[in-house]
């Protein structure tokens, strides 16, 4: 079963984006949407998956 929410380390592992980049993006109000509960930062699995699908490169068959 896939967790509904991921921490920054799980997102980093899943996407290859460093935790430093994720932190910088949050500070700059850009990048992946996230939730803040107290001091904890969580990302929705569905948002991360959608982000990754948006980065997909497909080639047309000739």
Predicted local confidence at residue 1, as pLDDT: 63
User: Tens-of-pLDDT digits for all 62 residues of the chain?
Assistant: 667 999 999 999 999 999 999 999 999 999 999 999 999 999 999 999 999 999 999 998 87
| Contact call for residues 35 and 42 (beta carbons, < 8 A) | yes
Using a cut of 0.75, tell me whether the model's pTM lies above it. yes
Cβ neighbours for 23, distance < 8 A, ≥ 6 positions apart: 8
């Amino acid at each position: 079963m896939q967790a509904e929410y991921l921490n920054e380390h799980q997102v980093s592992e899943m996407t290859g984006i460093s935790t430093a980049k994720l932190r910088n993006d949050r500070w700059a109000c850009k990048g992946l949407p996230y939730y803040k509960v107290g001091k904890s930062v969580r990302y929705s699995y569905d948002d991360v998956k959608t982000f990754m699908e948006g980065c997909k490169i497909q080639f047309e068959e000739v």
